[in-house]
C-alpha cells in the first residue's frame, strides 16, 4: 500500500511505516526473539507519531509546527481557536506533553485507549530498562491493546480508515487481537464462576481481571487448581505464579503508599493491619473503610476504659478481649500481674 507523498505528511507516513515494521518484527520474532524488542519500539513509536500528526494538524497556520514542541506556558482558547503565551522552543514534545496538549485541545483519548496507551508505553520502557521475559502471548496482549489505540487515532482523530492505510498489516493485527480476546474471554468466564461461587471477592476479581504479569507483561492472569485442592494465580502466557497477597500488596503500593513528599506535607498513612485476617491490607480513609484481602469492615468503637476511639490495630490487640485501647490494656495487664 502506497503512502502519501506530500511533504507535510512526513510524520503520518513515518507513523504508518513504523506500525507496519512493528508487525513485521513480531512475525520475525518467532525465529529471532530479539525482534520482540524492536517490534514494541516500532509500534509504540508509530502510535506516538500518529498523535504528533494530530498535533501538527491542530497547530495554527502561522506557526505550523507549534504543538510539536514543548511550550511550557502555552494555553488555548477553544472558543476563539487561538493560542496564547507562545514561546519558541527547540525541545520536542515528550509522551507526557503530548497527552497534555490533547487534553488542552479538548481531545483527550477515551479512557480505554488511554489505559491501553499507558500500558504499551510503560511496557516499552520496561523491556528497554529491565529486560522482562516476553513471548508470543505477551506480545499478543500488547498488539491487541495497540489495535485499540490505533483504531481510535486513525478513525476519530485523523479521519482515516485503518484497513485502507495499513492494508494487510491491519488485518494481521485484528487476527492477533481476536486470538487474544478469545483467551481473555475464557479467563474472564472462569473468574466470573469463582466470583459467583464466593471463592474470590469482587475486589480480587477486578484485580486479577485487570492485572498484568510483572514477568512478561501479558494481561492473562488466571486462577487454577494446583492439583492439590489449592487455588493458584498464574499467567497463561509465561506460567509465572502469584499469591493473592502479593497482588494486593502491589496494588496498595501503587495506589496508597506515601512518598517522602507526602509525609513532609502532612499526609497520613491509611494502610493498616486488618484486625480480622492480620494482613497489611486494610484501607481506612475518607473514601474507603475495608480490608482488600478479606473484605472485613471494622466499625468505629470506643475504649470502655477511657472513652477514646480505638485505633484499627487496637481492635485486633492480642489478649485484648475486653476491647480496651492499647494504653488501658497495658494498665490492665500490669494490674493482673
Give the tens place of pLDDT for each residue, 127-148.
777 655 667 777 788 888 899 9
Strand partners, 222: 234
290 - beta bridge partners?
Answer: 283
The mean pLDDT of 193-210, rounded to a whole number, is 90
Q: What is residue 1's predicted lDDT score, i.e. its pLDDT?
A: 45
CB-facing half-sphere around the CA of 331: CA atoms within 13 A:
9
Q: Residue 44 above 90 pLDDT?
A: yes
pLDDT at position 278, please?
Answer: 81
Q: Does the pLDDT of residue 192 top 80, yes or no? A: yes
- For 186-194, which contacts have Cβ atoms below 8 Å and span 24 or more sequence positions? 187/220, 187/221, 187/222, 187/236, 190/222, 190/223, 191/222, 191/223, 194/223, 194/231
What pLDDT is attached to residue 134?
Answer: 67
Mean pLDDT computed over every residue of the chain: 83
Residue 55 has pLDDT above 90, yes or no: yes
Q: Which residues sit opposite 80 in a β-bridge?
A: none
The pLDDT value given to residue 318: 42
Averaged over 89-106, what is the pLDDT?
88
Task: Kindly tell me if the per-residue pLDDT of 205 is higher than 90.
Answer: yes
- Whether pTM > 0.85 for this model: the answer is no
> pLDDT tens across 267-321, in order?
777 888 887 888 888 888 767 788 888 888 877 778 887 877 777 767 654 444 5
By the 10 Å C-beta count (0-12 exposed, 13-18 middle, 19+ buried), 174 is classed as: middle
Looking at residue 2, its pLDDT comes to: 46
Amino acid at each position: 500500500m502506497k503512502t502519501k507523498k506530500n511533504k507535510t505528511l512526513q510524520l503520518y507516513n513515518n507513523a504508518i511505516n513504523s506500525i507496519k515494521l512493528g508487525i513485521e518484527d513480531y512475525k520475525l520474532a518467532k525465529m529471532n526473539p530479539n525482534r520482540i524488542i524492536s517490534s514494541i519500539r516500532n509500534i509504540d513509536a508509530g502510535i506516538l507519531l500518529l498523535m504528533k500528526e494530530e498535533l501538527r494538524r491542530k497547530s495554527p497556520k502561522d506557526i505550523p509546527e507549534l504543538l510539536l514542541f514543548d511550550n511550557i506556558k502555552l494555553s488555548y482558547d477553544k472558543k476563539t481557536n487561538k493560542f496564547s503565551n507562545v514561546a519558541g522552543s527547540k525541545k520536542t514534545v515528550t509522551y507526557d506533553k503530548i497527552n497534555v496538549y490533547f487534553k488542552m485541545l479538548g481531545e483527550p483519548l477515551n479512557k480505554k485507549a488511554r489505559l491501553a496507551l499507558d500500558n504499551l508505553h510503560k511496557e516499552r520502557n520496561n523491556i528497554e530498562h529491565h529486560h522482562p521475559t516476553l513471548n508470543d502471548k505477551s506480545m499478543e496482549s500488547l498488539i491487541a491493546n495497540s489495535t485499540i489505540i490505533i483504531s481510535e487515532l486513525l478513525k476519530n482523530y485523523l479521519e482515516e480508515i485503518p484497513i485502507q492505510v495499513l492494508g494487510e498489516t491491519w488485518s494481521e493485527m485484528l487476527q492477533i487481537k481476536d486470538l487474544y480476546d478469545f483467551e481473555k474471554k475464557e479467563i474472564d468466564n472462569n473468574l466470573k464462576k469463582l466470583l459467583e461461587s464466593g471463592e474470590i471477592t469482587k475486589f480480587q476479581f477486578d484485580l486479577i481481571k485487570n492485572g498484568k504479569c510483572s514477568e512478561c507483561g501479558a494481561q492473562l492472569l488466571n486462577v487454577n487448581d494446583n492439583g492439590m485442592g489449592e487455588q493458584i494465580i498464574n499467567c497463561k502466557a509465561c506460567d509465572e505464579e502469584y499469591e493473592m497477597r502479593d497482588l494486593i500488596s502491589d496494588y496498595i503500593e501503587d495506589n496508597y503508599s506515601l512518598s517522602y513528599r507526602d509525609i513532609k506535607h502532612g499526609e497520613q498513612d491509611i494502610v493498616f493491619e486488618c484486625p480480622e485476617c492480620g494482613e497489611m491490607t486494610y484501607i481506612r480513609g475518607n473514601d474507603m473503610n475495608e480490608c482488600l484481602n478479606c473484605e472485613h469492615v471494622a466499625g468505629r468503637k470506643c475504649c470502655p476504659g477511657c472513652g477514646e476511639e480505638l485505633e484499627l490495630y487496637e481492635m485486633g490487640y492480642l489478649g485484648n478481649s475486653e476491647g480496651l485501647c492499647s494504653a488501658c490494656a497495658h494498665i490492665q495487664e500490669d494490674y493482673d500481674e
